[in-house]
Amino acid sequence: MLRGIVLLLLYVFCDIALAAHCGKVWLTVSSLWRPILGSDKMVDAELEVNWELDCPKEIGYPDTIKVFTADPAHNKTLKPKLILTSLQHPRGYYRTNITVGRPPLPGGWDTKDGATLSGPHCLKHHAALYKDDIMYASSCLKIWPSWMYDFRNILLSCPRRQLGRLPIGSLMIPGTHNSGCYKHGDLTRRDAFQRYLLTQDRDVWTQLVHGIRYLDIRVGYYPSIPNGTALDEEGDQVSRFWVNHDVIRITPLLEIIKDVRNFLDVTRGEIVVMDFHRFPVGLEGKPNRHRKLAAILHREFENWILKPDIGIDGLGPTLNDIWSAGKRLIICYGDKHTVNEYDWLWSPLTQVWGNQQTVEGLFKYLDEVILEPKAPRNNQNPLWAVMAELTPFPLDIFFNLSGGLRQMADSVNRNLTVKFQTKWWKETNIVATDFFLGNNLIDVSIQSNIKKSNVAQWRL
């Protein structure tokens, strides 16, 4: 099975065309919710179907998309859960009422310390594109926990392409905004009406397993330990640090630390960027508290921390350099005074913020920034991040004018996929979004890095 996947990937990514390929279809997960009458629970995480048709005129467009709960290629008698017909437009989107939920992660990735299998792994749902009952393309909702190292090995067999020679600052890296602002378990009415707090549907472990490699973290410090928080072996210091959304604490920092450490432990070559970007509560002007946090991070990640490296061309070390060093965690830190005290902390990472309330305004801003001749990176840090989400104003929050972060993410996410796929991929380094399952930027990033990996463009 694994050998078959590798051969297929070689076939596709070494620029050998598939004769029958015409258009593509992919699945995403809606950030929206619906109330259940007479219940405290909500309907959320509903499946979305997306398609793009690029066919010669003599062939004509495919006419049907079918959605299944298993791989139709392996079961010809499988009945579809949904059929979409009359595909009149070259690009389309359809939100279904099929609930994805929070299924177990395949390939051994559901347990954070168990055996794990590399490569992509399909979840339950598949979609296929047909013309005259002939399948032209298919895809699944999937996880890809090992994509960086998978393509290192695969591309070694493609003489024109070497992913390892890309500098980290030139890679397209999928990320999440306010990565620690999530909730475990099913969504309730109370969660849904806290419209401006949660930005993600999955915990950090699940984000990383899906393929996210950049985590945006805002930390608060609370001298009084919150009720119900367990003390740790270091005298409760970790328990005082929380991941915040602005001034509201959401998740204990220890949860995120454990997820990242476990992920690094069980993967072979995945590189993770933790961006401790802001400190909205309890750390401003408190150097000793920053030192406590630095001490915790060093204690938990000492074996994985990659020291800062601007690189010979300002784009940082290559992936080969990082893999050779055996250090795969980059910790960026938003307090310059603290960075100056520790040689293993990377300087503050530049985040490109549009502070826009409309999709049109955001895309106009991103057009201007991403397509600028010079990337807006810090001279001391080769990485920079596009924060590709809408930003509510205080009045929006008070009067709920925008409907909440879920509605804002829904309006922008599927359009982001197309923009980065067609226009912005080449110049982009990191891209972070809200409710990341609502876009296809993990796949777009992987495809973009394959295109960027032509060795003629980079170091020999």
Query: Which conformational region is residue 119 in: left (phi greater than 0), alpha (psi within -120 to 50 degrees), or beta?
Result: left
225 versus 246: the higher-pLDDT residue is 246
- Residue 142 pLDDT: 97
| Residue 25, in any domain of the structure | yes
- Residue 181 pLDDT: 96
| Residue 196, in any domain of the structure | yes
**How many domains, the chain?**
2
Query: Which amino acid appears at position 130 of this protein?
Result: Y
Exposure string of 95-134, with b = 16+ CB inside 10 Å and e = fewer, is ebebebeeeebbbebeebeeebebbbbebbbbbbbbbeee
CATH number at residue 389: 3.20.20.190
Q: Is the pLDDT of residue 236 over 90?
A: no
Q: Is the pLDDT of residue 337 over 50?
A: yes
- Residue 456 pLDDT: 42
Same domain, 288 and 408: yes
* Alpha carbons 22 and 20: distance in angstroms, whole number: 6
| Residue 70, in any domain of the structure | yes
Query: If pLDDT is split at 50, 70 and 90, which confidence band does 84 have?
Result: very high
Q: Which residues contact 355 (CB under 8 A, 6 or more apart)?
A: 391
- Residue 225 pLDDT: 64
Neighbours of 90 (CB within 10 A): 12
Residue 41 pairs in a beta bridge with 188
Among 95, 115, 142, the domain-final residue is 142
CB 113 within 8 A of CB 266: yes
Same domain, 135 and 152: no
CA angle (27 as vertex; 84, 411 as ends), nearest 5? 95
| Tokens coding 274 | 């933790």
Q: What percent of the chain is predicted at pLDDT more than 90?
A: 64
Q: Which of 79-88, 153-162, 284-293 has the lowest mean pLDDT?
A: 153-162
Interval 385-396: pLDDT, tens: 999 999 987 656
Interval 107-145: pLDDT, tens: 999 987 766 899 999 999 999 999 888 888 899 999 999
Q: What percent of the chain is predicted at pLDDT more than 70?
A: 86
Compute the chain's Rg from CA coordinates.
Answer: 22
Interval 169-201: pLDDT, tens: 999 999 999 999 998 777 777 766 578 899 999
Same domain, 153 and 107: no
Same domain, 295 and 431: yes
Same domain, 96 and 198: no
Domain housing 48: 21-142
Neighbours of 185 (CB within 10 A): 8
If you average pLDDT over residues 291-301, what whole number do you get? 97
Q: Is the pLDDT of residue 458 over 80?
A: no
- What does pTM read for this prediction? 0.92
| Residue 417, in any domain of the structure | yes
* Alpha carbons 195 and 181: distance in angstroms, whole number: 12
Nearest CA to 366 out of 307, 422, 424, 311 is that of: 424
The runs of H, that is alpha helices, within 106-195 are 147-155, 189-193
Query: If pLDDT is split at 50, 70 and 90, which confidence band does 159 have?
Result: low
Among 108, 142, 176, the domain-final residue is 142
Q: What is the distance between the terminal CA atoms of the chain, rounded to a whole angstrom?
A: 34
Same domain, 200 and 293: yes
Place of tokens 């796929």: 421
The CA distances from residue 415 to 212, 409, 411, in Å, are 19, 10, 8
Query: If pLDDT is split at 50, 70 and 90, which confidence band does 399 have?
Result: low
Q: Which of 127-131, 271-275, 278-282 has the lowest mean pLDDT?
A: 127-131
Q: Is the pLDDT of residue 405 over 60?
A: yes
CA angle (443 as vertex; 441, 448 as ends), nearest 5? 90
What is the average pLDDT value for the chain, to the nearest integer?
Answer: 87
Phi (first) and psi of residue 220, to 5 degrees: -115, 150
CB 80 within 8 A of CB 66: yes
Neighbours of 239 (CB within 10 A): 18
* Alpha carbons 8 and 25: distance in angstroms, whole number: 18
